[in-house]
Amino acid sequence: MKRVWCCLSLFAILHSFTVEPVAQVCATCPSFTKTNATGSKKLASLIGCWRGKGPNALGAKISYQMGSDKSALLETMYIEKNPTMYTMYYLDGEVGMAHHFCSYGNQLRMRAEPSDDPNVLFFKLVDSTNLPSLAHNHMNYVKFIFRDQNRFDVEWGLHHNGKDLPQLYAFRRVAQSCSANSDEW
């Protein structure tokens, strides 16, 4: 009896480590794995950790993590000498959307614009909360330029003190999957 119990325990332990594909909970809901939109597919391919440089040679780290049953992509951005920022990407049908939680304290909602270039994904500001007027500091857009599997650029359209100041970052992949703790990569 002890031997049977031992074998069953071992089977249970080994089975707990196997990963079986699971169907999406909502088969008809938008998903990064089912979309036909090229830009959204490329955005989903960014899952993992990246390092790069931005304006004024500031160091930057960025991570992408899929969640909510493959319907949301969380971007966590760490820029040297700046607070951590978050952007949640999701689909409205087949249209890419972005909800950016800015260090300026506003929350910006952006919609993907059609593009003839399959390596460019451009999100334009739709509306926001905690932004009394467009004269206040905020981001107008975000533009992704996909170089290859391990490199991409992203340009944030910063409106700061009455001026439009595009902020270009260039990133290289560090890991396919990674910890949310940026100190580890």
167 occurs within a structural domain: yes
136 occurs within a structural domain: yes
135 occurs within a structural domain: yes
The pLDDT tens digits of the residues spanning 120-159 come to 999 999 999 999 999 999 999 999 999 999 999 999 999 9
- Are 47 and 152 spatial neighbours (Cβ–Cβ below 8 Å)? no
17 occurs within a structural domain: no
**Nearest C-alpha neighbor of 101 from the set 62, 135, 138:** 138
**CA–CA separation, 99 and 103 (whole Å):** 13
Q: How confident is the model at residue 175, as a pLDDT?
A: 84
Backbone angles phi, psi at 39, to 5 degrees: -60, -40
Quick one: CA dihedral 28, 32, 38, 40, positive or negative?
positive
**CA–CA separation, 106 and 87 (whole Å):** 12
20 occurs within a structural domain: no
Look up the CATH number of the domain holding residue 81: 2.40.128.20
Domain count of the fold of the chain:
1
What is the mean predicted confidence (pLDDT) over 78-104? 96
Q: How confident is the model at residue 22, as a pLDDT?
A: 61
The pLDDT tens digits of the residues spanning 94-108 come to 999 999 999 999 999
The pLDDT tens digits of the residues spanning 18-61 come to 344 567 788 888 999 999 999 999 999 999 999 999 999 999 99
pLDDT at 118 over 50: yes
2 occurs within a structural domain: no
170 occurs within a structural domain: yes
Q: Which structural domain range is residue 173 located in? A: 31-180
Quick one: CA dihedral 14, 18, 22, 25, positive or negative?
positive
Q: How confident is the model at residue 7, as a pLDDT?
A: 42
12 occurs within a structural domain: no
- Are 138 and 108 spatial neighbours (Cβ–Cβ below 8 Å)? yes
**Nearest C-alpha neighbor of 138 from the set 153, 123, 157:** 157
> Which has more confidence, 3 or 38?
38
